[in-house]
């Protein structure tokens, strides 16, 4: 069989930065004995190393260099067509008991799973290079920051980790030489990229991850979903902090007053767009800055929640990104970026459905086939991705690296719902807010394999990412609320409500600033709201809709609470809680009853 990741022979002085920590050395040695690579490459994150890996990735056709004038220092990667999204059905939480993983996770026995994976990894790296990638998650001087090491046989993974994390010597230094220090062990092997031998396994008690058989980012950049969310959420509960699938943004008023907001939306629901929002003209002087677009780690200090973005790059969905939907993302991917599964134009540029301008007359699609505008196939895969450094973002928050984190004034939950959910509403209090998060739902997207467009409950957008029992996760949220003397207010938004004609009622994108402004005003106690059975809703005059061409009828529809729809919604909440088999805390059951009672009044 063809070796899909042939070993590389780096020049002297590259790939030999062994750390001093004996626990790391022992672990790498153990994996080496099992996977039998040709050689071991110790990454240090230097420029020399980067150049060497890029050259090798091009030589192996893992990366295609793009037109240097059009997209400087950027590359295209094509994944195996059977490997284009996260695979929730092959993702496992391996805790000693099934109850610890809970009703929403696939569970498998840790000892049996280790044995099975050891079998799969035996000799798996023969003829390949075993790369050791040290990285930190979080700003260099933050108490929240954690160290991880990823072993991989994929050069694409190494180059992507270099963008997505602070990688190399910085992590080795932070870990130090104490063999008992806390760090995450991640092992990844492409094997033969066969879906039948694809497994993403988490061992929370061991702070360890093993991922085999895939090369897709969400399955193999172990820092991200696997460590920062699944293992992270487990550690967070144990250690009293929060690891959430949330963007973090800053909003500054013309007077210089600044708030930070964290928002949990399921995959591919516009987190990156919201985090990079450009306010409409009417909001001249208002500034929105990005702290993070996917993950928030939050700790309590002085009774408030403070958040950091543990990542150092963006791994975003490409199709639909353009100068109208997200000009800041377009700037972020203009250079020094990796593209995965987009189309390649004849002049070495990248193209995707929804990019500005007319489609190219000819391109090579994401599978490597000729493509023209008449082709039936899409040029870019719907879940094609960019990997870009945060530093490329023109609106990166100046305090992005602040170690203590940034104080969160509001938490927003949201999903993709064609009906039922109004544009925005505010919870009555923290406990009610936890209920909003716990019962959140969204229409599924291409970010994970499976049917697209079906409404599924996705509590706090963590359904695929909570590394332990979801009931205990809800309990953790409730317990955090008790420790907060100055908690963020909690809101729910829905940019995706449709009218009878099937068209979106709300323009979205930059105009989401209008909703954000109401949220900020509410956090300052300075704007009105109407009490409804589901929470506080803005009155018609509480939302600043100036200079927006929108029918009053649309606004009414956007804020409408249809009692028939809500009867069904409430039944779905109950059904969802019932499906969790008794793990839901009594406080949330009571919230469900209170909601029913408010509607019955």
Residues annotated as part of the active site: 269
CA distance 560 to 558: 6
DSSP letter (8 states) at residue 252: E
Residue 315 binds which one of Mn ion, ligand OXD, none, with CB within 5 to 8 A depending on kind? Answer: ligand OXD
- Considering only 72-80, 263-271, 338-346, 424-432, which stretch makes contact with Mn ion by CB under 5 A? 263-271
Of 48, 66, 37, 45, residue with least CA distance to 10: 48
The least distance separating Mn ion from the CB of residue 496, rounded to whole angstroms, comes to 17
Residue 447 binds which one of Mn ion, ligand OXD, none, with CB within 5 to 8 A depending on kind? Answer: ligand OXD
Is residue 557 near Mn ion by the rule CB under 5 A? no
Contact set with ligand OXD (CB under 6 A):
86, 218, 267, 294, 315, 447
Nearer to ligand OXD, 139 or 218 (CB): 218
Nearer to ligand OXD, 315 or 474 (CB): 315
- Considering only 155-163, 173-181, 294-302, 513-521, which stretch makes contact with Mn ion by CB under 5 A? 294-302
Nearer to ligand OXD, 230 or 475 (CB): 230
Written as six digits, the tokens of 418 are: 């064609």
- Considering only 288-296, 374-382, 452-460, 523-531, which stretch makes contact with Mn ion by CB under 5 A? 288-296
The least distance separating ligand OXD from the CB of residue 493, rounded to whole angstroms, comes to 18
The least distance separating ligand OXD from the CB of residue 307, rounded to whole angstroms, comes to 17
Nearer to Mn ion, 452 or 571 (CB): 452
Written as six digits, the tokens of 150 are: 């990823």
Written as six digits, the tokens of 600 are: 């019955």
The least distance separating ligand OXD from the CB of residue 461, rounded to whole angstroms, comes to 8
Of 594, 556, 544, residue with least CA distance to 574: 594
Written as six digits, the tokens of 547 are: 């200079």
CB crowding 150-184: b at 16 or more within 10 Å, else e: bbbbbbbbbbbbbbbbbbbebbbebbeeeeeeebb
Nearer to ligand OXD, 154 or 523 (CB): 154
Neighbours of 200 (CB within 10 A): 26
Residue 86 binds which one of Mn ion, ligand OXD, none, with CB within 5 to 8 A depending on kind? Answer: ligand OXD
Q: Report which secondary-structure segment, H or E, holds 456.
A: strand 455-457
Residue 130 binds which one of Mn ion, ligand OXD, none, with CB within 5 to 8 A depending on kind? Answer: none
The least distance separating ligand OXD from the CB of residue 294, rounded to whole angstroms, comes to 5
CA distance 342 to 67: 14
Residue 280 binds which one of ligand OXD, Mn ion, none, with CB within 5 to 8 A depending on kind? Answer: none
Which residues have a Cβ under 8 Å from the Cβ of 74 and sit 6 or more positions away?
66, 333, 335, 336, 337, 338, 339, 350
Nearer to ligand OXD, 87 or 592 (CB): 87
The least distance separating ligand OXD from the CB of residue 339, rounded to whole angstroms, comes to 15
Residue 270 binds which one of ligand OXD, Mn ion, none, with CB within 5 to 8 A depending on kind? Answer: none
- CA 402 vs. chain centroid, Å, equals 21
Nearer to Mn ion, 19 or 218 (CB): 218
- Considering only 70-78, 83-91, 259-267, 557-565, which stretch makes contact with Mn ion by CB under 5 A? 259-267
The residue number with the shortest CB distance to ligand OXD is 267
Residue pair 293/385 in contact (Cβ under 8 Å)? The answer is no
What backbone phi and psi angles, to 5 degrees, belong to 412?
-120, 130
The least distance separating ligand OXD from the CB of residue 591, rounded to whole angstroms, comes to 27
Q: How far apart are the first and last CA of the chain?
A: 69
Which residues have a Cβ under 8 Å from the Cβ of 160 and sit 6 or more positions away?
217, 221, 315, 338, 387
What backbone phi and psi angles, to 5 degrees, belong to 242?
-130, 135
Residue 293 binds which one of ligand OXD, Mn ion, none, with CB within 5 to 8 A depending on kind? Answer: none
- Considering only 44-52, 55-63, 121-129, 261-269, which stretch makes contact with Mn ion by CB under 5 A? 261-269
The least distance separating ligand OXD from the CB of residue 53, rounded to whole angstroms, comes to 23
What backbone phi and psi angles, to 5 degrees, belong to 588?
-80, -35
Nearer to ligand OXD, 102 or 218 (CB): 218
The residue number with the shortest CB distance to Mn ion is 294
Contacts 24+ apart (CB under 8 A), 15-19: 15/39, 15/40, 15/41, 15/42, 15/43, 15/49, 15/52, 16/42, 17/42, 17/43, 17/44, 17/168, 17/169, 17/172, 18/42, 19/134, 19/172, 19/175
Tell me which of 83, 100, 294, 401 binds Mn ion, using CB under 5 A.
294
Binding site for Mn ion (CB under 5 A): 267, 294
């Amino acid at each position: 069989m063809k070796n899909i990741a042939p070993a590389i022979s780096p020049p002297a002085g590259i790939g030999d930065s062994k750390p001093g920590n004996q626990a790391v050395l022992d672990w790498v040695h153990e994996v080496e004995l099992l996977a039998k690579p040709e050689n071991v490459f110790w990454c240090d994150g230097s420029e020399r190393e980067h150049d060497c890996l890029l050259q090798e990735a091009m030589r192996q056709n893992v990366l295609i260099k793009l037109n240097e004038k059009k997209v400087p220092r950027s590359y295209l990667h094509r994944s195996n067509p059977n490997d284009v999204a996260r695979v929730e059905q092959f993702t496992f939480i391996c805790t000693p008991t099934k109850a610890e993983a809970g009703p929403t996770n696939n569970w498998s026995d840790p000892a049996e799973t280790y044995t099975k994976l050891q079998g799969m990894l035996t000799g798996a790296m023969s003829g390949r290079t075993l790369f050791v990638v040290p990285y930190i998650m979080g700003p260099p001087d933050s108490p929240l920051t954690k160290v991880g090491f990823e072993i991989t046989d994929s050069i694409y993974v190494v180059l992507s980790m270099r963008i997505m994390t602070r990688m190399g010597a910085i992590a080795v230094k932070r870990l130090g030489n104490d063999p008992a220090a806390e760090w995450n062990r991640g092992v990844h092997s492409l094997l033969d990229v066969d879906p039948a031998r694809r497994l993403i396994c988490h061992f929370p008690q061991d702070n360890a991850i093993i991922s085999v058989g895939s090369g897709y980012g969400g399955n193999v950049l172990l820092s991200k979903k696997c460590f920062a969310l699944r293992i992270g959420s487990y550690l967070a509960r144990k250690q009293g902090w929060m690891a959430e699938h949330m963007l973090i943004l800053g909003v500054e008023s013309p007077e210089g007053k600044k708030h930070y907001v964290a928002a949990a939306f399921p995959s591919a629901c516009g987190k990156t767009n919201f985090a990079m929002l450009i306010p409409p003209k009417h909001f001249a002087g208002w500034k929105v800055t990005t702290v993070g677009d996917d993950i928030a780690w939050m700790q309590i200090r002085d009774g408030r929640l403070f958040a950091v973005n543990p990542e150092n790059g963006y791994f975003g969905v490409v199709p639909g990104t353009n100068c109208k939907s997200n000009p800041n993302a377009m700037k972020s991917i203009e250079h020094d970026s990796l593209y995965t599964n987009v189309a390649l134009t004849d002049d070495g540029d990248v193209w995707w459905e929804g990019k500005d301008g007319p489609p190219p007359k000819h391109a090579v699609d994401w599978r490597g086939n000729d493509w023209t505008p008449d082709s039936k196939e899409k040029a870019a895969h719907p879940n094609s991705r960019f990997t870009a450094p945060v530093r490329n973002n023109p609106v990166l928050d100046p305090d992005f690296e602040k170690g203590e984190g940034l104080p969160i004034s509001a938490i927003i939950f949201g999903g993709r719902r064609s009906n039922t959910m109004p544009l925005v509403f505010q919870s009555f209090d923290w406990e009610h807010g936890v209920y909003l998060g716990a019962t959140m739902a969204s229409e599924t997207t291409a970010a994970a394999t499976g049917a697209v467009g079906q409404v599924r409950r996705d509590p706090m957008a963590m359904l695929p990412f909570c590394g332990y029992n979801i009931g205990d996760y809800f309990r953790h949220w409730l317990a955090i609320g008790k420790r907060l003397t100055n908690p963020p207010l909690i809101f729910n938004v829905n940019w995706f409500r449709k009218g009878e004609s099937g068209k979106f009622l709300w323009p979205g994108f930059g105009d989401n600033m209008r909703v954000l402004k109401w949220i900020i005003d509410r956090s300052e106690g300075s704007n009105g709201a109407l009490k409804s059975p589901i929470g506080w809703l803005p009155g018609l005059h509480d939302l600043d809709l100036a200079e927006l061409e929108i029918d009053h009828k649309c606004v009414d529809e956007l804020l409408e609470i249809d009692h028939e729809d809500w009867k069904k919604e409430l039944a779905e909440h109950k059904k969802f809680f019932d499906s969790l088999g008794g793990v839901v805390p009594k406080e949330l059951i009571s919230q469900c009853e209170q909601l029913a009672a408010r509607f019955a009044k």
